[in-house]
Structure 1
């Protein structure tokens, strides 16, 4: 074999080896990528620019188990949804299937990161978030929020029952006040009438005893009714800064979370303004009038930490009083709490939010603000 032939043969040999090695590395990278994606606890799906499946993780297939048989690379997600609608997988679509599909497809192809909720046939609720990738495709996130929805509904029912009981008790006390004080007023008035007549010493002493007994009964009734009034708002009822009305700004991108916060605060007489991202929170705060801010961390447009840093920076620059700010987040590691404190938060509460924790943090933050002001 001539020298030129040997070189050509060697080049082909080394090129084939390099190609084989590159393929092996690509396969290994794909395996590792799938392992990482499968380890994510939320459902994740990747689509190309035409809305066709590229890759999805195990959790995504579990969430949509009724449609998992339709998943395959190259198939369109909207076609899967159309078959799911035909099977009755999406209760909200029943009766207006084409309009539902058109609206869902529009959201898919705008994919701004705005979150929305979706109910599936077995009663579960999902939170959906979809964003565009740099190559024009879509990455989608699916989170099962069924338990969160159940807790919000239970809280709303409990608050409704509590308010109904509160109103019934108030009505009872009002009725009792009328039924007890009306005859007492009569007794006291009648006891004064004999003063204008001639009474023997014994009779005058008897009238004095009647009037003293009427005054004692009046004190007892007043004490009983005052106790009942106080019991309408017992010390263990959640409240914040009861010496003045409060106005609180709450930022959370999840509509269910915003509803829970509203229910908790409004039940205690707190005025609430809610927004869905950190940018909107800063804009609302700039308008003034808020006694405290509740801030989620992971939000679109501007996250919670960036929003808190902006608020603190503008407070210093403009000489504005410090607004107590509390983080509400599912991220509660020491690093997360340290990051909140470094940004300027006055507290960090774990989700799901407990009423007593929320109001305890509010009272602590407001007390700290009052101490600094004095």
Structure 2
């Protein structure tokens, strides 16, 4: 073999080895990427600029298990949706199939990150969020919010039942007041009228006893009704929106947490605006009109403590009214609570959020409005 041919052979050998090594590295990187995506608890799907499947995780296939046989790279999501509609996978589409598909296609075409809900055939509810990627494709997120919907419905029913019980108790007290005070007023009035007539000493003494007994009975009735009114005090009533619905600004970087807050507060008639980080929270607060701010601590861009401090500083500098702020965080150590208070928070409640704890914090921060 000549020197030139030998050199070419060596070059091909080395080139082939480099190519094989590059392919091995690419396969390893792809496997790692898939492992990471499969570890995400929400359903994730990647589409190319033409709306065709590129990659999806295990949870996405589990969520859409009735359509998973249609998933393959290069297939169009809209074709999968059309087949799913034909199979009856989407209850909302029944009877309006083409309109449903057109609306879904429009949302996919814009992919602005706006969240919407979708029900599937087995009764589960999904929250869908889709955003454009830098290459014109789409990344989609699917979160199963069935349990949150159930909790919201249960909360709404509990609020309705509590309101009904509150109204029934108020009506009972009103009826009791009428039924007790009407004859009492008659006894006291007749005794007073009798006392003004010509009576012998023994008769006058009896009338005095009757009037004293009437006064004692009046005190007892008043005490009973006052106790009943106190039993209807704000802290015993179900949380409800005042004459003017509370406007709440909630900052949390987790979309599921934001949805939980929305469901809890909107079920009670409050108006909720959600943002994803502390920077957006400060910007939204500057527009004004919020009665209270709910702030997560650990968020990207600007964290919750920094956002609280920024708002308090601007309030002081501009002479603005103090906006109540409540921290919602999984960090609940004494150090974290002290840090929240030092930054200017008015309360600190733990995640996972319990609805009674949230409303209790709102009532404490806003006693006039929340009552």
Deviation at 1:236, TM superposition (A): 5.4
Paired residue for 2:25? 25
Q: Give the secondary structure class of the aligned counterpart of 2:18.
A: helix
Closer, same or farther: CA 239–162 of 1 in aligned 2, 3 Å: closer
Deviation at 1:68, TM superposition (A): 0.3
> Which range is displaced more, 191-200 or 51-60?
191-200
Paired residue for 1:162? 162
Paired residue for 1:224? 224
Deviation at 1:319, TM superposition (A): 4.2
Paired residue for 1:56? 56
Q: Is 2:250–2:275's contact at 8 Å kept on the other side of the alignment?
A: yes
Closer, same or farther: CA 246–157 of 1 in aligned 2, 3 Å: closer
Unaligned 5+ residue runs, structure 1?
A: 267-271, 368-374
Q: Is 1:247–1:289's contact at 8 Å kept on the other side of the alignment?
A: no
Q: Give the count of matched residue pairs.
A: 355
Whole-Å separation in 2 of the counterparts to 1:343 and 1:4? 75
Deviation at 1:327, TM superposition (A): 3.4
Q: Is 1:277–1:303's contact at 8 Å kept on the other side of the alignment?
A: no
Q: How does 1:97-108 map to 2 (within 5 A)?
A: 97-108=97-108
Deviation at 1:144, TM superposition (A): 0.6
Paired residue for 1:257? 261
Paired residue for 1:15? 15
Q: Give the secondary structure class of the aligned counterpart of 2:89.
A: coil
Whole-Å separation in 2 of the counterparts to 1:356 and 1:273? 18
Whole-Å separation in 1 of the counterparts to 2:116 and 2:47? 18
Deviation at 1:231, TM superposition (A): 1.1
Paired residue for 2:328? 328
Q: Is 2:118–2:126's contact at 8 Å kept on the other side of the alignment?
A: yes
Deviation at 1:192, TM superposition (A): 1.2
Paired residue for 1:149? 149
Q: Which runs of 4+ in 1 moved over 6 A?
A: 297-306
Unaligned 5+ residue runs, structure 2?
A: none
Paired residue for 2:123? 123
Q: Is 1:277–1:299's contact at 8 Å kept on the other side of the alignment?
A: no
1:220-274 Cα distance to aligned partner (Å, 9 max, x none): 111111111111237555779x9xx99552336756632411445x6xxxxx442
Q: How does 1:206-285 map to 2 (within 5 A)?
A: 206-233=206-233, 247-251=246-250, 254=258, 257-264=261-268, 272-277=270-275, 282=282, 285=285
Q: Give the secondary structure class of the aligned counterpart of 1:276.
A: strand
Please tell me the root mean square deviation across aligned C-alpha atoms, in Å: 3.4
Q: Is 2:111–2:131's contact at 8 Å kept on the other side of the alignment?
A: yes
Whole-Å separation in 1 of the counterparts to 2:93 and 2:304? 34
Whole-Å separation in 1 of the counterparts to 2:106 and 2:297? 28
Closer, same or farther: CA 224–343 of 1 in aligned 2, 3 Å: closer
1:1-59 Cα distance to aligned partner (Å, 9 max, x none): 21111111110111011111111111111111111111111111111000100111111
Closer, same or farther: CA 310–70 of 1 in aligned 2, 3 Å: farther
Q: Is 2:294–2:325's contact at 8 Å kept on the other side of the alignment?
A: yes
Deviation at 1:313, TM superposition (A): 4.8
Query: What TM-score comes out, normalization by structure 2 length?
Result: 0.84
Whole-Å separation in 1 of the counterparts to 2:49 and 2:304? 31
Deviation at 1:315, TM superposition (A): 2.7
Q: How does 1:275-314 map to 2 (within 5 A)?
A: 275-277=273-275, 282=282, 285-286=285-286, 288=288, 290-295=290-295, 308=308, 311-314=311-314
